[in-house]
Structures are given as C-alpha cells and as structure tokens.
Structure 1
C-alpha cells in the first residue's frame, strides 16, 4: 500500500537545498572553464557541457526541464506499508519508528555509547540494558518538555533535557535544627515551568520534601552502648556512644 504525502514546509526546505546545490555546481563549472575535465552525476543531470576540439570545457547550459521536474517533486514523500491502513495511521507509525531510530543514533552522543569501555560480555550486556532504560527515560522527558514548549509558544533555553535536569538538580534538602530537613531555597519560576511539563507543581515538591523529612526523622533510632576498658589501677571508664540508624 502506497501513501503519498505533501508538506509545504518540506517543499520549501528541499527547494532551497536544491537551488543552493545547483548554484554551487554552477560556480564549480565556471572555475573549470578552459580545463580538460569531465563532470558526472549530479552535474550532468542538470547541465549540458560543451567542449572544444581539444577536450577543454567551453561552457555549460542548464537543463531547464530537468530542474523544473526536480522542483516539482519537492515536498512530496511516500510511505509504503504491508498492511491496509489510513494515511494518518501510516504517518503516525512511521513517525514513531523514525523517532526511535534517531534516538538510538543519538545514544552515541548523549550516553557515550560510541565506545564500550568494558572488558567482558556480561559487562557489555549490563551497559546496554542501562543505556536502553536511560534512552527511554530521556525520550520521555524530551517529549514532555517539547509538548510544554508548544503550549508556551516561546522558546526557553532551560526547556532542553540537559538544561532541565541541571535546573531540577538545584532542588535539594538541607538539614536544620533537631534533625529536620527543608528545601534549601524556594522553587524558582523556571523550575515551576519544568515541573508543569511533568504534571507537577511546587506544592507536590513541598509535600514530597515534608514527607522525606518526616521519614528521616522517624527512622532515626538513638541507642546507647557501654564499653568498658580495664585499666591497670582497676578503674573502669564508661563510654557512651550514640548510634544513629539513619539513611540520609
């Protein structure tokens, strides 16, 4: 099944790219006039070359029909499917797979998968598993941030994945009196916009911070142990050791 699509944006980009390529070909041909040179594809597709008796290039004439035919194709693309479906279903399926392929190609850039840096097969498998899970998480963050950017209709530098993670990393708890914890500083406006992309608000962060503080405070069990050390004079010194079972 063949599904034919047309995109005005794609047409504009392809026309600009084609015109630039033809212009570069023309400049190269002009520099080659008077030389014994032979041009192949793609130059021969858009130009007819004239040579003198000694095989030197005299000039080149643009093939108007070939250029117009190539320009007419700009903006069109075709998707082939083995199952019967609508054009919209085919496009959404292709778009999802294309995004997945681009994501795995980006694995080398984002997660350092260009080199393994391990020395055993089990380590390679473990690293690939971690990278695969990390790619899923990163792609999910990217999609949520992109959707939020479309709602804002304004480009924000902190709405990229690395910048958003760096911004959210600033949210941290600090220990105050009596072993209690609280946020180091208030939630900023930028952090609120990032949290909104994940369906969260600063109230969620405050509630979670309060919950963590209560959990840590409740898990701190204080106990005392006695240690005795027999001295030469027979006196015993008592040592009191405070033990905290707290995982911070």
Structure 2
C-alpha cells in the first residue's frame, strides 16, 4: 500500500479516482453544492414566520396607554383625547428631566454662571481686566444703538400726534425713549398708552368752565376730539409748550 502511494499503479489510481468521483456525484456526500442543501435552506426560510411590522407593533403596544389616536391633529381630537395627549407629553418631559437627574434649566443656568465665575477667578489680573473692558465696550455699544433707534421710534410715534416741528420737539423733551425699551424691544403700545393716558387725564375742563385754548396762534376752538389734539393739549398743560 505504501508503495502504491509512492508509485501508484495506473489501474489502481484509475479505480480510486472513479470511486471518489462517484461519491462526489451522490447527494448529501459533501461534494459540490448538493441540491438537498439548497432545498433544506429553502425549507428553513419557509418555516421562519415573517417579522411583524415595527410600526404596527409599536402602535398596538403604545396606543392603549396613551388614550389618544396616533397621527391625528390635535384639533381633530376630543377633549378627553387632547387631555391624554398633553398628559403623555408632560410625562415625556418629566422622563427627560429624570434622565438628567432632576436638573432644572434654572439650575443649569446657575451652574454655568458659577463655572464662568470660577474661570474668571483663575485668570490673571491683566486678563480679567481685558475681559472686563471688552464686556463694557460691548454693553456701551449696545446701549448707544438702543438709544438711537428708540429715539427714532419715539419721534415717529409722537409725530403722529404733533406735526409741527417746534411743538414736537417740546413734547419729545419730556420723554425718555429708553423707558419704553423692554428686553431689547421697543414697546410702542406703552408709549401710545402713555400719551393717551396723559391726554385723558388732563384733556378737558369741568363743565361750565371755559375751555382751555388749544395749540395755534393763540386762538380758541372746541375741545379736542382726536388723539393728536388731546396729546397737544396735554403737552401744553404740562408746560412743554408756551403760549
């Protein structure tokens, strides 16, 4: 046998080759790609059930607990469904807050402020002075810009009541435009309400008494009926305009 391996006999080698070939041609012997294996794979795939759609499964799991229909505008929900909707989202906010270990936005702002102060304390005196100078310059520039546009808006609004330049200047002299700037925005309604309130408080004289002279060249006319005339009359009463 050992000799046959070293020096194979032609007849013996042919027999061994044919025997091995017959084995590889038989199904299930591991040779090639047997059809039985493919059939087995196909059968295995048919036995596995298809996966459930994730969206349907999620809706079936979450909808009973939510109490409101999914993918529905709030305006189309009933009162009970809207209440459940907001309750669900409030619970989500609470869960989000719990994920941050109960840290509130106010606490986060305070910690940021403390961190900035700690950072400033570690700066050199020269660095801290430079940072303060930059902050002061930025605040000054912002204040100057606000004063400019607030004054322009005030002039435009007062100009709706007072058209003569000299009279308008007298009225504007008694108004500080920055008092109507709140949170970086100009409160136009507050200024109009201020002018209207002054006109209402001092716009007319008691019944039976002569009506005060209105603006003009020293003439008299019926009591003011418009907001513009009332504002002018009030400015005169307060001494902003002299006869």
Q: Is the shorter-chain TM-score for this pair beyond 0.5, marking a shared fold? A: no
Higher helix proportion (structure 1 or 2): 2
Which structure has the bigger radius of gyration? Answer: 2
Higher strand proportion (structure 1 or 2): 1
Structure with the bigger RCO (C-alpha within 8 Å, sep 6+) is 1
